[in-house]
């Protein structure tokens, strides 16, 4: 069965194609705001609409398929930026109607978890989900989950996500490009100093850390601030993750989401896992960044489990939490 997924929750418009669980195409375009500006929803949505046809064509070429070969269409239904979500929703509905094929809406967070777990061959891991807006510790099938919910959030950020922490810091500190990858690059030449550290049980907070780092950036070398910002924020996540491992006794850990591409975070979590005899894994970088393949992969998995949806019932949901997925 061949599944096509469309991703458009934030800065990325992506189209991925999966054939029986194997990724055979994964094309995308990323909206890059002007220097000093974050994501403006309307501008990002316009970018996605303008680039969708080209991304779709590229994905079909890569797969060597036509739209008539697709068995299942899917899209990122939420959470995300409302204007951006409407692009993938409208596109998937149009294609499903035109080719008279079934359609599913996919939770963006679930897609990050599912493709990572599936490709790594894990069964019931502790998920450490780190992206722009989300930073969460998640388990599946826990009795403490809300009635009808598949996932339980053990801990999460109390304010902003790790990705937003790095992107906002970079933008306000005048780093170009204003992205977490540039913060990571600069950190390699830095020296550590202490910044505010906030962990509450299995929850963590980064807003105060951001404020302190921006203040320090006015007087210290930017490389030192980048390193310290990374080390402190990652240490918060590692402390909470270790607490979650002790609580759940999980022997598998999956790191997923855009920030999972950071080699230092991977290194730190690997050490935590070794101390508890747990297997650690993360998907390839192109499948941790927002992409259409993870939407297609998850839709196909859900379809095989019996999930169905009527096209009229599918609407974007910008606030669809992972612990609301049934």
Q: Could you give all domains of the chain from N- to C-terminal order, each with its CATH number?
A: 2-111+287-324 (3.30.420.40), 124-284 (3.30.420.40)
- Whether the per-residue pLDDT at 245 is higher than 80: the answer is yes
pLDDT of amino acid 38: 85
| Whether the predicted pLDDT of 144 surpasses 80 | no
Q: Tell me how far apart the alpha carbons of residues 55 and 7 are, in angstroms, rounded to a whole number.
A: 11
Entry field: residues in the chain: 326
Number of Cβ within 10 Å of residue 61's Cβ equals 11
CA-to-CA dists, residue 6 to 107, 108, 142, 166, angstroms: 12, 11, 30, 26
Question: What end-to-end distance do the CA atoms of the chain give, in Å?
Answer: 23
User: How many other C-beta atoms lie within 10 A of the C-beta of residue 148?
Assistant: 8
pLDDT confidence of residue 297: 98
Strands 252-256 and 279-282: parallel
Contact 253, 240 (CB under 8 A): no
Q: Which of 3-12, 36-45, 171-180 has the highest mean pLDDT?
A: 3-12
pLDDT tens digits for 100-112? 999 999 999 999 9
pLDDT score for 277: 97
DSSP E strand stretches across the chain: 2-7, 12-19, 22-30, 72-78, 103-107, 126-130, 135-140, 151-156, 199-200, 203-204, 252-256, 279-282
Whole-angstrom Cα distance, residue 232 to residue 215?
16
Hey, which residues does 36 pair with through a beta bridge? none
What dihedral angle (degrees, nearest 10) is formed by the CA atoms of 152, 146, 89, 180?
-30
Closest CA to 137 of 209, 204, 229, 210: 204
**Nearest residue to 261 (alpha-carbon basis) of 169, 183, 178, 207:** 183
CA distances, 270 to each of 197, 242, 279 (Å):
21, 11, 8
Amino acid 97: pLDDT: 98
Closest alpha carbon to 180 in 238, 266, 262: 262
Question: Residue 147 — very low, low, confident or very high, per pLDDT cuts 50/70/90?
Answer: confident
C-alpha triplet 100, 101, 103: angle, nearest 5°: 125
User: What percentage of the chain carries pLDDT values higher than 70?
Assistant: 100
**Rg of the Cα trace of the chain?**
20
Least-confidence region, from 174-183, 211-220, 250-259 = 174-183
The pLDDT confidence band at residue 320, using thresholds 50, 70 and 90, is: very high
Per-residue pLDDT reduced to its tens digit, 35-74: 888 899 999 999 999 999 999 999 999 999 999 999 999 9
Q: pLDDT tens for residues 247-294?
A: 999 999 999 999 999 999 999 999 999 999 999 999 999 999 999 999
- Cα 320 from Cα 86, distance rounded (Å): 14
Task: Band the pLDDT of 141: cuts 50, 70, 90.
Answer: confident
CA distance 236 to 239: 5
Per-residue model confidence (pLDDT) at position 146: 81
Q: Which of 9, 6, 81 is nearest to 40 (CA)?
A: 81
pLDDT at 217: 97
Virtual CA dihedral for 184, 188, 192, 198, nearest 10 degrees?
Answer: 20
Sheet-wide strand order for 151-156:
151-156, 135-140, 126-130, 252-256, 279-282
Instruction: Quote the pLDDT of residue 142.
Output: 82
**Confidence (pLDDT) at 145:** 81
Of 126, 164, 81, 322, nearest in space to 240 by CA: 126
């Amino acid at each position: 069965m061949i599944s096509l997924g469309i991703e458009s929750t934030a800065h990325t418009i992506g189209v991925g194609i999966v054939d029986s669980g194997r990724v055979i195409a994964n094309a995308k375009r990323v909206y890059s705001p002007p220097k000093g500006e974050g994501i403006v929803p309307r501008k990002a949505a316009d970018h996605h609409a303008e680039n969708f046809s080209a991304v779709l064509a590229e994905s079909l070429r890569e797969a060597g398929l036509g739209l008539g070969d697709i068995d299942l269409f899917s899209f990122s239904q939420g959470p995300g930026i409302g204007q951006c979500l409407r692009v993938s929703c409208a596109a998937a509905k149009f294609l499903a109607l035109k080719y008279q094929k079934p359609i599913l809406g996919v939770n963006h967070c679930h897609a990050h978890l599912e493709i990572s777990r599936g490709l790594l061959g894990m069964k019931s891991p502790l998920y450490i989900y780190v992206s722009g807006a989300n930073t969460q510790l998640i388990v599946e099938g826990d009795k403490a989950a809300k009635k009808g919910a598949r996932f339980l959030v053990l801990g999460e950020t109390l304010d902003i996500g790790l990705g937003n922490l790095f992107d906002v810091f970079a933008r306000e500190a005048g780093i170009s490009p204003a992205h977490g990858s540039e913060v990571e690059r600069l950190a390699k030449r830095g020296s550590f100093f202490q910044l505010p550290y906030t962990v509450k049980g299995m929850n963590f907070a980064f807003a105060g850390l951001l404020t302190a780092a921006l203040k320090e950036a006015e007087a210290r070398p930017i490389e030192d601030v980048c390193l310290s910002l990374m080390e402190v924020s990652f240490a918060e996540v590692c402390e909470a993750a270790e607490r979650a491992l002790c609580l759940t006794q999980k022997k598998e850990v999956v790191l997923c989401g855009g920030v999972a591409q950071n080699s230092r975070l991977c290194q730190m979590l690997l050490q935590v896992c070794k101390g508890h005899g747990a297997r650690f894994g993360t998907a390839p970088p192109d499948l941790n960044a927002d992409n259409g393949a993870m939407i297609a992969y998850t839709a196909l998995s859900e379809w095989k489990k019996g999930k169905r949806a009527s096209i009229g019932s599918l609407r974007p949901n910008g606030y669809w939490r992972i612990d609301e997925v049934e």
